[in-house]
Structure 1
């Protein structure tokens, strides 16, 4: 899957970019028609420790999902956002699958 990562007001290191790519590649296990994804990493200018924001947009045919998480580290935020996306993709896949007709006696 093609992943484009943008970091706002800072430079993301290679390890973080690699972690994001590996984590988002796992989304293909839940929904195989993922086209691409956009990741936006931002630092919030607050005094709280949870000042790292990860926003992930996943594009699938005829739809897209957007999840935004704020945590202590970017890795934690990306992991949390991916967990939410996994649930959404599974729900989308189940909806798409035709329901078998129930026959009553």
Structure 2
């Protein structure tokens, strides 16, 4: 799966990209219909210490697009939350593909 990264108003980070790639690789292994992913990281000023680091992931696969976004205290936690939100979407699509 090809992965593209965007950093609106945030400095690019090789460590963060490696972390996101590792998590997305796990999805790619489980769901073989994935083609590419667009990942973005951005900061938002919030009144809470538990939000503000936003990660959004859009995955394209088999004619369908999956999307999730999360705002957490840091980007690593935001990536984990987005992966958790994407899992049920991908699982549902895989079960539909298997039934055909």
Structure 1 counterpart of 2:31: 31
Structure-2-length-normalised TM-score: 0.91
Structure 2 counterpart of 1:78: 79
Q: 2 CA distance for matches of 1:79 and 1:37?
A: 15
Structure 2 counterpart of 1:60: 61
Structure 1 counterpart of 2:93: 92
Q: 2 CA distance for matches of 1:98 and 1:16?
A: 37
Q: 2 CA distance for matches of 1:28 and 1:55?
A: 17
Shift of 1:30: 2.5
For structure 2, the 5+ residue unaligned runs are none
Q: 2 CA distance for matches of 1:38 and 1:45?
A: 23
Structure-1-length-normalised TM-score: 0.87
Q: 2 CA distance for matches of 1:29 and 1:21?
A: 12
Structure 2 counterpart of 1:2: 2
Aligned length: 99
Q: 1 CA distance for matches of 2:70 and 2:10?
A: 18
Bigger Rg over Cα:
1
Q: 1 CA distance for matches of 2:48 and 2:70?
A: 15
